Each structure stands twice: as C-alpha cells, then as structure tokens.
Amino acid sequence: MRLRVLFLLTLFPFFAVAAALPVPDQGPALRIQGSNTIGAALGPALVKGLMVQQGLQGVHIEPAEGANEQRIVGSTRQGKTVTIEVAAHGSSTGFAALKRANADVAASSRPIKDSELVDLEPLGDLKSPDAEQVIAIDGLAIILNPRNPLNTLNTEQLAQVFNGDISTWEALGGVGGTIHLYARDDQSGTYDTFKELVLSRRGKPLAPSAQRFESSEALSDAVSHDPQGIGFIGLPYVRQAKAVAIVDGDSQPMLPLASLIATEDYPLSRRLFFYLPPSNRNPWAKALVDFTQSGKGQAMVAANGFIAQQVQAIGVEPRPSMPEDYQAIARDAQRLTVNFRFEEGSASLDSKARQDLQRVVAYLKGHGKLDKKVMLVGFGDMKNDPQRAALLSKLRAMAVRRELVKSGVVLRDIRGFGAQMPVATNSADEGRIKNRRVEVWVY
C-alpha cells in the first residue's frame, strides 16, 4: 500500500498538495491572464476545483470589473476570503501581463513566441519543463452553416478563402454566392494559431472584410445563423455550427475528432498552455498546475469540452492507403491516444512528450502491458533518400524506447515507416516537425 501511495504521488502531483496554501492579507491569491479559449470557462473551472480541494467553502465564480474577466471566491474555515482573478483577453495579453508583473500565470492557446521568450528572459526560462505546461489539447474547427453542403476543405483552400482570393462558394464547388468570413480578434491565441497554421505558411494576411470577435461563442453563433458564413473556432465552441473535415498536404481528410486531436494528427490541432515564470514563487501557481495535470484536473479538462491528456487504447480500422505492415499492426493491436514528438531540430522529447511518458507508463502498469506488449512506430518527414527517412523514423522510436526502458517497460518491437502516412504537409517546417512522431501500440 505504501508503494502504491508513493507511485500515485509521483504520477499525480495534486495528491501531494496536502498542506493548506497561504492566504494573502490583501489582494488576490493568484492572477491568471491570457487566452480567452482557456479563460472563458476552463481556467475558472480548474481554479474552482483547486480551491475546493484546498478545503475552501462557498467557492463560486462571479464577474469582475471588465468584460471577459472573472473572480473565483471562497473562504477559509476561519472566515477569511480567498480570491483568484482570471482575465481572458487573448494569449498575447498574458505574456504582456507577466512582463508588467500583473499576472502570476499566463494562459496561452499557442506556444510562447521567440520574441516573447527573449522579452521575458529576466523572469527565467519560460521553455523549461516546469515553466511550460501543456494542460489540454484543442482543435481548431472550421465551421460552416449547418445547411452548407460542403464537407471537406484543404488548408490551401482555407488560406485562399480567409485571404479573400476565393470569395464565392461556387469556387469551392458549393453554392451560396459570396463567402462571409468570421474570425477571432488580434489578441486571440485562436487567431494566432489559425494565422500560424494556415495563413502565414502561405504568406497571406486575413482579408479586411472578415468580421472579428473577442468572444468564441458569439462567433460560432454568428456562423450558425449565416448560410454564407465560414469561421474558425476552438473545439468546445462549435455549438450549432457544422465542422468540416480538413486535409493538409497529402494527409487523409480528418474531422476534429477527439482521438485525432489527442494524438495531434488532426491538421488544426493545438496545445493549450499555462506558463509559470521560474522567478515567481507564488505557491498557488504551482498548486494549480499540479492540480491541472492530475487525473481529477484532466477530467475537468474533458468536462469542459477539450481533449484531456488521459491515455486510452483505441482500435484503428485498417485502410488500403496504409502500408501493409501497418495494416497488420492495426488488425492485431490498439493504438494509444498519444504521440511522442520532439523539440525542433533535436532528438529530445518536447515538453508534452515528457509529461506523457509518465502517463503512458501508468497506463501500461495499470493494464499489465509492461512485458513485450508494446510496439513503437516511428514516422518522419520526406527525405531525398527514402531509406534515410526510414532509418530516422526508427531512431526516433528508439529514443522513446530508451525512456520507457528506464521505467521497466520491455518492448515487443520498434518499427520505422519513414515519410509514409503524413499527417501534415512536408512543404513547411511546422508540418515536417509534426510528421516526426512516434505512435504507441499495445497488444
């Protein structure tokens, strides 16, 4: 029993938050600023969960002074009020608030930019494992009016549509006349992600005709009421609109399904982050991250419509487009809902992959899969020499094997499929990085 408790403490840090956190004499215990995608509902829900876990009473959420700002309030058993503030004005505002010392945590629906990293260097390395915390996976859904007959678009078409180069539905093979564009505002991480994944790759700005929204809900509702409308939105905000399947390069058409977003195969998937400056010693910030990464916190992530980082095994239907050896794996094994990816230009696992190692090991232990029940399948980007691509993909799988072996996992096999089965275009750096991945299959 003692060993089990120690294991749980290692795996789910929130179990370790036993001692009551300090309550400041004045002002909020914690200040979170940034992403509207996180701050609208998910952030406040996680904060509320932490406060309840801390034994606070009467925990409730109330509006703060400004639009898209909330205050989560509770009280100690001694009657002392504890307040945590959440302001959701866009990812870039979170990093700006860290610089001004107006926030303890930046919530972001995109990775920190290199310029922001340099600007915030006095606060410590915000790309370090403790500072950069992937809290959930989201998918950007491309939404249409429910009556629009189109079901599939590729990322090149998306760029042309939102740039204004394609201005009618007929040009896409549909009907309806002029296309009406709906987009998030410039402060939004959702917009930053769309711009990064779709527009900037092709050197195209957003068309000036696009209607801009600070609220995700308002944007989605506008598209669902406009037969000529198209917009992009975070996955929980599809609401009454219709999501279409997306193709990137030579990838298969993919709907924003939970399994495809969890593995980040879906072309418009993205990570949601908390960033904690190493120089900030607020214990509430660390406690919030620990709670969020715990099983209970990730259940809240799922309850709020995002994709939790809880590992599951799923069946994959073999398709003729798959290599025959891969089809054989799919017939006999199940795929875990996690892909290991790597730092840019490096053989080192990235921040999410380091977190996922513990989750995968926990799954394997809990399901009796430690001894020759696991196959790692590596993939890569296109190379001039297919044999080199195959070798590099196998080396990536071997890098993951080295980490799993440290936790007592005995692998059944490792395979490398080179540049086959791309999930993103190989014509851009971001796509090549995404294609360099390792899948986990269990027997």
**CATH at 350:** 3.30.1330.60
- Give start and end residues of each alpha helix (H) in 110-207: 114-119, 155-163, 189-194
pLDDT average per 10 residues of sequence, the chain (443 residues): 38 48 95 94 97 97 94 96 97 97 96 96 95 94 96 97 97 94 92 88 94 95 98 93 95 92 93 96 97 96 92 95 96 97 85 93 97 97 89 95 97 96 87 93 98
What value does the CA radius of gyration of the chain take, rounded to a whole number of Å?
22
Beta bridge partners of residue 181, listed in sequence order: 230
pLDDT of residue 6: 37
Of 249, 287, 179, 188, nearest in space to 431 by CA: 249
Residues 227 and 291 in one domain: no
Phi-psi map region of 152: left, alpha, beta (phi>0 left; psi -120 to 50 alpha): beta
Contact between 92 and 100 under an 8 Å Cβ cutoff? The reply is no
Full domain range(s) for residue 190: 139-261
Q: What is the DSSP letter of 152?
A: E
Q: What is the pLDDT of residue 384?
A: 83
- Residue 426 has what pLDDT? 87
Q: Are 335 and 440 contacting, i.e. CB atoms less than 8 angstroms apart?
A: yes
Q: Residue 38 belongs to a domain with what CATH number?
A: 3.40.190.10
Q: Indicate whether 194 and 282 sit together in one domain.
A: no
Do 253 and 340 lie in one domain? The reply is no
Q: Tokens standing for 410?
A: 């005995």
Q: Which of 118, 81, 120, 115 is nearest to 103 (CA)?
A: 120
Statement to judge: residues 50 and 109 lie in one domain = yes
pLDDT for 427: 83
The count of domains in the chain is 3
> Using CA atoms, how far apart are residues 63 and 48, in angstroms rounded to an integer?
14
Same domain, 116 and 186: no
Whole-number pLDDT of residue 44? 98
CA nearest 250: which of 267, 233, 263? 267
6, 125: one domain: yes
Q: Does residue 270 form part of some domain?
A: no
Residues 237 and 202 both lie in one domain: yes
In a domain? residue 269? no
pLDDT at 19: 64
Closest CA to 306 of 186, 174, 135: 135
